[in-house]
């Protein structure tokens, strides 16, 4: 059985991936209990699980499911530290959607 595709997205693609599992890389801008906000070319609300340990202003990669309210329920979160080239991140997101037939099934 093939693994589920987890396309890389940012804030502008949230609506297109409602009820889908995705990857989002952004900077943590706020932490409040079991939720956080990350900047991924726009603000994204995330609902953390118990294993998520985020650091304010660090980059984080979230794997999770986009909810109907366009927030993301976190399945896994990985801290990427503070030395991230966000232009490179956006280039990867752009390539993911420009060549979607390589990265995910758009149907």
DSSP E strands in the chain: the ranges are 8-9, 21-32, 35-39, 43-47, 59-66, 72-81
Give 102's pLDDT tier (boundaries 50, 70, 90): confident
pLDDT at 106: 73
- Residue 55 three-state SS: coil
pLDDT at 92: 95
pLDDT at 107: 64
Structure confidence by residue, pLDDT tens digits, 38-80: 999 999 999 999 999 999 999 999 999 999 999 999 999 999 9
């Amino acid at each position: 059985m093939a693994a589920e595709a987890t396309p890389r997205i940012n804030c502008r693609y949230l609506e297109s991936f409602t009820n889908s599992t995705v990857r989002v890389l952004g900077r943590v801008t706020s932490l409040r209990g079991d939720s956080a906000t990350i900047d991924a070319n726009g603000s994204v609300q995330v609902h953390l699980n118990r294993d998520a340990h985020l650091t304010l202003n660090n980059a984080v990669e979230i794997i999770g499911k986009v909810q109907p309210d366009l927030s993301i329920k976190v399945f896994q979160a990985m801290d990427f530290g503070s030395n991230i080239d966000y232009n490179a991140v956006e280039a990867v997101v752009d390539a993911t959607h420009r060549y979607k037939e390589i990265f995910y099934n758009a149907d």
